[in-house]
Structure 1
């Protein structure tokens, strides 16, 4: 495992972070609780020290399962918990943004209870709430930082302009945007901004909802309630076919140049692009195979070679904007 320091703070994160959106079941067609707990423990046993979750992942379920796994595994002081706030939901599962002071103070205590811990290492605004002054959100987070309830302030899905506004009141230590071989929009603005401002980049969607796992085929079907069936354009019609064609070419490249699988090529590419930690989503222990992404690197020529494959086949990239909750 490789590690990176979080901004200018006195702790590190693993360069692969376990993502736990899927184990919450919501938007993924359900999940198995026992397998979910086993997945978290498997990741920790294999050397991952950082786990990313959020209250909205299963409406509290993901955090509860992570908390259960941590109680079984122990060693809390060696693990970095990253969770989020700022999304609320009703009884029908409708989600909206809310990053008010009142909401934050409620959410942080709820998350601490579900996670069975007394502090959160990285506390992140899940999506920018344009109806609440960023100064109110930032000031509340600064108070939580000063009190020791959180160790680092993070934002997710923020633009550089929004981060600038936020940092007029409190620092940002971590930024979590989407990033993978098929979704590279942050290269033009978010990545340069974070590098210039000493903000750690913890990116989500490394495997692009499983597309880059190398295990998808044209006849793959998804359960009811799975966003890949209901909402994600990448998994529809000719667009799906094009992405699968690109994955086949990437498989060949990974095997020929590195003797690796495409799933490990996809993650190593992210790390060699300068990202501090890539989130690897999994909901079964057998999906925790990230270790083959370490011990080797891309050359500059190989980075370009991989990118040319994608750019040639997927001529009209689809952004992950469909995942954004209503503003």
Structure 2
């Protein structure tokens, strides 16, 4: 495994991080807790020391699963990355979405990051996680009803209290990062990034490179699309966010699979899966510090961790990028 510093926060994380969104079941069609705990343990055994979660994933379930998993791990060897600012139990702030919980009940979710809400959320997260500090505390989405300065001042107080080690943001623009930086030292920005979703290269990546901020790339496998295992005729339940995603139309899946077929010989020559090749290419891109990768069982977790065993030469990275350039106008 490879490790990297998150900006100048003093926090070191594994470059493959365990993403526990799917483990919480919410928007992924259910969960099996024992499989998720086993997946986290399998990842840790291979050097994946960083686990990313959030209260909204399963409405607390994902954090509880992570808490269960880390009970038997040395706390000082694990980095817990969680979030705040999405409330499903309070109708306040910026309305985010109508969704359903894991039991199929209607749920209204709000982006809300006022100081009093943060103080409640951190205590709830610490309890669910079974720990007394969070390594990286990230605002999940911008909340336009609360000044960024107020939000960041509250999280800074949590740092001073020892409940948070480093401060991050998620889904923030460059302008929003600049505003936050007037109040706190930001370690990172967690943003979507994959072979077929590269818009952050225009602005967020240059800013983070210039100002020594880490980028945590979420959905680097584009919700499973880049594994090569999704078929054009694949059916997704209504509770699965891929059911209505533009990249999962039969036409898009067909084009992406044709692109992946061009990479297959390279993957086979390295005894690697397509997914491992995709992850290695992703982490070779400028400014991309960490890939957050989900796994719902130990086998998937082991495959993800072994992605960093794959070595790509500059020529091979260029070949992949050239093939990708032909695909991108069709899927953008």
TM-score, reference length from structure 2:
0.91
Name the CA distance, whole Å, in 1 between partners of 2:222 and 2:2.
Answer: 22
Offset of 1:309 from its aligned partner?
1.5
Q: 2:260 aligns with which of 231, 237, 247?
A: 247
Structure 2: how far apart are the matches of 1:243 and 1:271?
A: 20
Query: Which residue is 2:86 aligned to?
Result: 87
Three-state SS of the structure 1 residue aligned to 2:221 is coil
Shift of 1:237: 2.9
- Give the drift of 1:170: 1.3
> 1:22, 1:283 within 8 Å by CA — same for their partners in 2?
yes
Q: Is the 8 A contact 2:43 2:305 kept in 1?
A: no
Aligned partner of 2:65 in structure 1 is 65
Counterparts of 1:156 and 1:10 in 2: how far apart (Å)? 19
Deviation at 1:185, TM superposition (A): 0.8
- In the alignment, what sits opposite 2:131? 117
Which stretch has the larger CA shift, 78-87 or 301-310? 301-310
Q: Which of the numbers 178, 183, 189 marks the counterpart of 2:203?
A: 189
The gaps in structure 1 that reach 5 residues or longer are 319-327
**Of Structure 1 and Structure 2, which has the larger fraction of its residues in strand?**
2
Partner in structure 1 of residue 300 of structure 2: 287
Query: Aligned partners of 1:29 and 1:205: how far apart in 2?
Result: 17
Distance of 1:244 and 1:214 partners within structure 2: 6
Which residue among 272, 283, 290 is the counterpart of 1:260? Answer: 272
Matched, 1:96 2:110: yes
Distance apart, 1:259 and its partner CA: 4.0
Structure 1 contact 243–314 (Cα < 8 Å) conserved: no
Pairing of 1:214-233 with structure 2 (within 5 A): 214-229=228-243, 231-233=244-246
Question: What secondary structure sits across from 2:329 in the alignment?
Answer: coil
* 8 Å CA contact 2:232, 2:250 repeated in 1: no
TM-aligned CA deviation for residue 195 of structure 1: 1.1
The aligned runs of 1:158-169 (5 Å cut-off) are 158-169=172-183
- Does 2:16 match 1:32? no
In the alignment, is the contact (CA less than 8 A) between 1:212 and 1:247 conserved in 2? yes
Runs of 4+ in 1 over 6 A off after TM superposition: none
| 3-state SS in 1 of match to 2:28 | coil
Partner of 1:2: 2
Q: Hey, what's the Cα distance between the residues in 2 that align with 1:55 and 1:312?
A: 39
- CA positional deviation for 1:296: 4.3
User: Per the alignment, in what secondary structure is the counterpart of residue 150 of structure 2?
Assistant: helix
Cα contact 1:246–1:314 (8 A) shared by 2? no
Q: Are 1:75 and 2:69 an aligned pair?
A: no
User: How far has the Cα of 1:156 moved from its partner?
Assistant: 0.5
Which of 103, 126, 130 is the aligned partner of 2:140? 126
CA distance in 1, matches of 2:250, 2:18: 30
Asked whether the equivalents of residues 220 and 279 of structure 2 are also in contact (C-alpha less than 8 Å), the reply is yes
Tell me the CA shift for residue 174 of structure 1: 1.3
Query: Which string of whole-angstrom CA distances, capped at 9 and with x for unpartnered residues, describes residues 279-305 of structure 1?
Result: 111111111112332244333332221
Instruction: Indicate the SS of the match to 2:255.
Output: helix
Q: Secondary structure at the match of 2:330?
A: coil
216-225 vs 143-152, greater mean Cα deviation: 216-225
Instruction: Give the superposition deviation at 1:218.
Output: 2.3
The answer for unaligned runs of 5 or more in structure 2 is 90-104
Per the alignment, residue 323 of structure 1 pairs with none
Matching residue of 2:322: 308
